[in-house]
Structure 1
């Protein structure tokens, strides 16, 4: 509902329409105001009519109001009352039609929802049957994926240990370099020995770096292999789901064939029994003739 409309605005618009010789209807008042909800304007017009009756009674009671003027005011009031009744009846009819339409729409929607619920129940039953069929395979694949995750975590832990070892070696190298600087200040003679130690330490660091890089490549390769295996397992699960759907269709077809076979089974049993009775009678007749 638009905001800003007041009773005074509706009163002024209605007075303006009456002064112009027009009936103050909801549509005309809304045209004058340029806004306003029809329900709000209807309610405010009722208030305006009540106030108009009071104003007309006061004006007629004044001694200086001419008789024709009072009659004119009474005619305006009568027209306003008649229009109010007509507007009320029209609003009542519209409301009743809207209620009937809403009721029909709700009934139709209830039927649609009922059909949808029944279809959903059937689909749920079918999905539950399929899920029961493939649940074991999914559990096995989940267990395998969990093992792969554990292996991946172990490899990551080993890589972290290697990185920590390399960092420790790097720290040792820095410590040796600091000791060499101190030793140079005190003993020049130990310079060659310190150089040899630093060179050896650098060679060890390079060897460790090469080892770490090799381990990193192997770890990355292993992770890639595990990722490929996981993707293959997901594809296998998807293939199993499709195969399960096809097997479900075959089971339904076999059940239909079995029902048809069971329906035809009693007739075959009756014919077989009749043939046995005929053979028994023939045997008895042959024995009597030989006797």
Structure 2
């Protein structure tokens, strides 16, 4: 809550009236809050006014002169008070402008954060998609690996069968050659017997 100089001075007078030193913290406690800057500025004027009062008490002046000085002091004080109020209002205006600028910067930062959060969500979705595709590819690789292992097994069995067939074919070739030799010997014996038969006729 914003307090006026008059309210602050009233509290300071009350504290001083109890015989206590009206410090900024005490005044703020009595008020129940308030800006340190405003209270400090108001107390500066309050102490200046107290010094003026003390000086006036020490100087014995004619009543008419005292009244004129009191009136001049009151006018001077009112002028200073008005100036302080104007400065405070200007300061409040500047603070409001700073607040608006900070709010704009905060809104821009929030927009950036939301944009980054959307990009992060898209990246997570993309990562999930790529992870699923990777699992599918790993499954396909596993299946192909199984098929390749089966082909290797079948190839090994075919190679083994081929080796066995080659051995059997070589054996049959040997048997065929042996049979041809046997047939050749029989043919020679048959021709010899045939010649002998022709000669015996």
TM over 0.5: no
Q: TM-score normalized by structure 2?
A: 0.40
Larger Rg: 2
Q: TM-score normalized by structure 1?
A: 0.29
